[in-house]
Copies of this chain bind each other. A is one copy, B any other.
Amino acid sequence: MSQSELRAGIDRLRALAPGLHDRDFLLTWRESETTLRFLLAAAALLEEMHRANLSARLFDTGLGLAIFRDKSTRTRYSFKSACNLLGLGTEELEESTSQIAHGETVRETAAMIGFLSEVIGIRDDMYLGEGHAYMAEVAASLAEAHSEGVLAQRPAVVNLQCDLDHPTQSLADLCHLVRLFGSLEALRGRRLAMTWAHSPSYGKPLSVPQGVVALMTRFGMEVVLAHPEGYELCEEPLDAARHHAMQSGGSFTVTRSMEEAFAGADIVYPKSWAPMAVMRERPKLLRAGDRAALAELEREALANNARHRDWECDDRRMALTRGGAAHYLHCLPADVTDVSCAAGEVSRSVFERARLDTYREAGHKPFVIAAMILATRFEDPAAALAAAVERARPRRRR
């Protein structure tokens, strides 16, 4: 992309006031459409700057802090890449090697790790009813510490996946769709099937499908959610999806049939998640340390999953989509039949055709996170990015 194209991108950014300065990014449905449009545009511009070997370093010093309460390769890497892209050093708060496990309150810890931090990225997706609450508590503690003069700056909390939403994933998915279809407007009227799919594991969080239906309904898409009985999602994102569909002129429907969801779809997103009852029960058993009951719960959950082995995205079902050529989305890693398991979310042939595209989909995530940091930490983020474009400093010097 040329310098003048980049400047045009900056001009489009200037027209969108994200309103995130000194705030957090926790749930897409609590943010305005303008905010989301800003993030999409900023992420795209940062990606173009990266491809053009232009430095987007906006911080001379400063820290991004990661707190992961669950395993993660790609989101962890994405967060750290995003921090690095803007010039922030990164540190990780490992709870097992810190004193957090020893009676510190969230309030205190938040202040202690905030003195020189610009952003705190948190993944906490294991227990229903807890992840978002924890992030909100950290954010409130940071806000108090800042307003009381304890912290010289107000670090932003960025949700790297909670029990309700996975905004850096759903926005990366949306970036990908914008690129595939040409523009956000071109998505209007497109049919997206967010469907449950079979997996030999259990206990996968609900936040990806929740985040997808709540976000994609906002831009006039026709979103169909499909899952077997017992795999219901949380009310808050479903309410958001219904409300968004009504406002945007799109639609949001729920069905028990994978075929019905696939019929005529432009985009399919087949993905396993845990039964709601399991997600509700597990935190209690874990806290009680009841191993026998946990083993029994796992056994039940897997038996439940096994009754729906036929929920696989295979060639037969892909043939039902528009022109038999729907785009396949996945947050990765996918459970691929005959590759990573015996009976998974997607057949080998469907996945192999889509494979490189799922990598491209994932590739937007570092830039989405960087856009969130930009929008939360800069009073005038478009001006800050404009200055970087004008400096035209190479990322890798020649």
Which A residues have a C-beta under 8 Å from some C-beta of B? 47, 50-51, 55-63, 65, 68, 71-74, 76-78, 80-81, 84-87, 89-91, 93, 97-100, 102-105, 108-109, 111-113, 115-118, 145, 148-153, 332-333, 335, 339-341, 355-356, 359-360, 362-363, 366, 377-380, 383-384, 387-388, 393-398
Contact = CB atoms under 8 A, between A and B. Distances in A.
Given A71-B99, A111-B359, A333-B102, A383 B395 contact: no
B80 A63 contact: yes
A104 to B, nearest CB: 5
A54 to B, nearest CB: 9
A347 to B, nearest CB: 16
Contacts of A378: 396, 398
B57 A61 contact: yes
Nearest to A201: B102
Nearest to A81: B116
B103 A335 contact: yes
A81 B63 contact: yes
Contacts of A383: 398
Contacts of A97: 68, 71-72
A356 B146 CA distance: 11
Contacts of A62: 84, 395-396
A86 to B, nearest CB: 8
A60 B55 contact: yes
Contact of A333 (B108, B153, B341): B108
B89 A89 contact: yes
Given A81-B115, A340-B105, A397 B58 contact: yes
Contacts of A74: 99, 112-113
Contact of A98 (B71, B89, B109, B341): B71
B366 A152 contact: no
Contacts of A89: 80, 84, 89-90
A359 B396 CA distance: 32
Contacts of A103: 333, 335, 340-341
A332 B108 contact: yes
Contacts of A57: 60-61
Contacts of A397: 58-60, 384, 387-388
A393 B89 CA distance: 18
Contacts of A72: 97-99
Nearest to A356: B148
22 contacts: A55-B60, A56-B61, A57-B60, A58-B397, A60-B393, A60-B394, A61-B85, A71-B97, A77-B93, A81-B116, A102-B333, A103-B340, A104-B332, A108-B355, A108-B359, A111-B359, A112-B359, A115-B366, A145-B356, A148-B356, A149-B360, A384-B397
Contacts of A398: 378-380, 383-384, 387
A65 to B, nearest CB: 8
Contacts of A86: 61
A116 B47 CA distance: 10
B73 A98 contact: yes
A396 B150 contact: no
A359 B81 contact: no
Nearest to A76: B98
Given A59-B397, A60-B397, A363-B150, A73 B356 contact: no
